[in-house]
């Protein structure tokens, strides 16, 4: 985890053309209350635990949502090092501008837009002393031991490569170690969660799975449609991830995964990271989206497939996430992914898990609800480490 901010970070901050959002306490988001004894346990756990987020976006957004499109085209990134230091994470799966990068073409998943982002993230991380690109499972431990943060480059979908599956070598070369087969709208490899018809994994998609297994890029199925998830899990020779989602039995939307997919994931040895982006992991018991609704997904999935297959991929960012969903509605397939027959209130932010700096609140919740140190260590680190060791080495 990052223990102090370097000059290199402040230099990056100074160069930004935009007035950026606050990385800490942007809104009044609740912290889980603990007793004195629990606070002590929290402090010691925060120090000794290795903590990994399976999915977040750590680039800081402008304060003014009217500037989001211009920002998405600008390449003017500041990584939220201050907020990341507060998160006390040792590693994060970084989603960059996945789904919203418009710098090189109007299609966020064009080869040019994806390579553009990969170049940028390598450039910016290279400029910051306290962060490095994570390339292997053991880089997580290295970051923990050296008071740094390992950033694993994570593409939520594959770029359009057509039949040129060998181009995955370029992605690997740029440091990609986790990639979705497909984002929300289907591509040449599989169907996404926004597709009305689920064609499953295509023949090209099967080739992509094999290539990723052989190369050492862990597969993410967070945005894939159900049949595509099941068929990918069936042929993948390595465990896979669902980096950020929840349970459809808890909240009935396409964005959530049905029990059948969750059970198949566990049989394959994989792990699901619980999602927390606004209006995703709601629950009927906690209808106003907050950390309590998010944890309803966690406890349900724990009951279904066991704690060995769970982690957290909060999918938070620094800035107004609710406005971001409005601005990028089409690109992110917001309408399709949230459709449900149940009425729920709109929130301005997710109380208790507003941005990456609130990751410690998950640990506070787990302490408060009687989870043991061993169980907490599994969901913050060990489960993820196990999958990565087998999938990327």
| Residues of the shown chain interacting with Zn ion in the complex, contacts defined by CB under 5 A | 156
Question: Least Å distance between CB 43 and Zn ion?
Answer: 32
Question: Least Å distance between CB 255 and Zn ion?
Answer: 9
Question: Least Å distance between CB 256 and Zn ion?
Answer: 13
Nearest CB to Zn ion, comparing residues 56 and 156: 156
Q: Which two tokens stand for residue 319?
A: 């800035």
Question: Which residues touch 197 (CB under 8 Å, ≥6 apart)?
Answer: 191
Question: Least Å distance between CB 158 and Zn ion?
Answer: 14
Question: Least Å distance between CB 109 and Zn ion?
Answer: 13
Question: Least Å distance between CB 387 and Zn ion?
Answer: 18
Nearest CB to Zn ion, comparing residues 156 and 354: 156
The DSSP secondary structure of 152-195, one letter per residue, reads EEEESS----TT-GGGHHHHHHTTEEEEES--SS--SS--BTT-
Neighbouring CB atoms inside 10 A of 304's CB total 14
Nearest CB to Zn ion, comparing residues 99 and 205: 99
- From CA 49, how far away is CA 39, in angstroms rounded? 15
Angle CA 258–99–265, to nearest 5: 25
SS3 call for 342: coil
N residues, the chain: 393
Nearest CB to Zn ion, comparing residues 113 and 206: 113
Instruction: Write down the residue that tokens 């896979």 correspond to.
Output: 240
Nearest CB to Zn ion, comparing residues 198 and 275: 275
What do you get for the CA distance between the two ends of the chain, in Å? 22
Helices (H), the chain: 7-15, 36-48, 68-74, 81-87, 111-127, 138-145, 168-173, 203-215, 226-235, 259-267, 291-305, 321-327, 334-338, 360-368, 373-377, 383-391
Question: Least Å distance between CB 328 and Zn ion?
Answer: 11
- From CA 105, how far away is CA 220, in angstroms rounded? 24
Please, are residues 297 and 251 in contact by the beta-carbon 8 Å criterion? yes
Of the candidates 123, 44, 116, 20, the one whose C-alpha atom is nearest the C-alpha of residue 73 is 116
Of the candidates 333, 383, 321, 306, the one whose C-alpha atom is nearest the C-alpha of residue 358 is 321
Nearest CB to Zn ion, comparing residues 289 and 364: 289
Residue nearest to Zn ion (CB): 156
Question: Least Å distance between CB 157 and Zn ion?
Answer: 9
Please, are residues 210 and 234 in contact by the beta-carbon 8 Å criterion? no
Please, are residues 187 and 157 in contact by the beta-carbon 8 Å criterion? yes
Nearest CB to Zn ion, comparing residues 144 and 321: 321
- From CA 247, how far away is CA 297, in angstroms rounded? 6
Neighbouring CB atoms inside 10 A of 285's CB total 9
Question: Least Å distance between CB 98 and Zn ion?
Answer: 7
Please, are residues 275 and 281 in contact by the beta-carbon 8 Å criterion? yes
Question: Least Å distance between CB 102 and Zn ion?
Answer: 17
Q: Which two tokens stand for residue 283?
A: 């629950």
Nearest CB to Zn ion, comparing residues 97 and 130: 97
Please, are residues 273 and 359 in contact by the beta-carbon 8 Å criterion? no
Nearest CB to Zn ion, comparing residues 156 and 195: 156
Nearest CB to Zn ion, comparing residues 156 and 226: 156
């Amino acid at each position: 985890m990052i223990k102090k901010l370097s000059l290199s970070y402040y230099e990056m901050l100074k160069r930004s053309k935009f007035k950026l959002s606050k990385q800490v306490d942007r809104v009044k988001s609740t912290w889980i209350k603990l007793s004195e004894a629990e606070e002590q346990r929290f402090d010691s756990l925060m120090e000794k635990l290795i903590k990994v987020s399976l999915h977040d976006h750590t680039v800081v957004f402008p304060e003014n949502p009217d500037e989001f499109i211009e920002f998405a085209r600008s390449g003017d990134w500041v990584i939220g090092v201050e907020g990341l230091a507060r998160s006390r994470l040792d590693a994060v799966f970084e989603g960059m501008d996945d789904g919203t990068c418009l710098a090189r073409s109007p299609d966020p998943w064009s080869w040019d837009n994806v390579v553009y982002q990969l170049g940028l993230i390598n450039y910016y991380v290279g400029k910051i002393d306290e962060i490095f690109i994570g390339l292997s499972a053991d880089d997580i431990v290295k970051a923990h031991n050296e008071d740094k943060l390992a950033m694993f480059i994570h593409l939520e979908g594959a770029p359009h490569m057509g039949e040129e599956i060998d181009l995955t070598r370029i992605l690997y070369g740029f440091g990609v170690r986790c990639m979705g087969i497909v984002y929300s709208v289907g591509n040449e490899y599989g169907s996404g969660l926004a597709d009305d018809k689920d064609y499953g994994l295509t023949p090209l998609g099967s080739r992509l799975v094999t290539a990723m297994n052989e190369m050492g890029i862990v597969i993410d199925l967070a945005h894939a449609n159900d049949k595509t998830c099941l068929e990918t899990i069936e042929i993948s020779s390595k465990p896979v991830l669902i980096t950020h989602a929840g349970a459809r039995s808890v909240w009935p939307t396409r964005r959530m995964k049905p029990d059948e997919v969750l059970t198949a994931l566990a049989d394959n040895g994989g792990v699901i990271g619980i999602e927390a982006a606004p209006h995703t992991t709601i629950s009927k018991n906690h209808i106003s989206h907050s950390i309590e609704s998010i944890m309803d997904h966690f406890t349900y999935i724990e009951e279904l497939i066991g704690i060995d297959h769970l982690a957290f991929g909060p999918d938070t960012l620094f800035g107004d996430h609710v406005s971001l969903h409005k601005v990028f509605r089409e690109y992110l397939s917001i309408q399709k992914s949230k459709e449900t027959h149940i009425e729920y209130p709109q929130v301005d932010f997710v109380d208790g898990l507003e941005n990456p700096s609130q990751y410690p609140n998950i640990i506070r919740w787990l302490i408060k609800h009687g989870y043991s140190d061993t169980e907490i260590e599994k969901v913050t680190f060990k489960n993820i480490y196990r999958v990565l060791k087998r999938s990327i080495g």
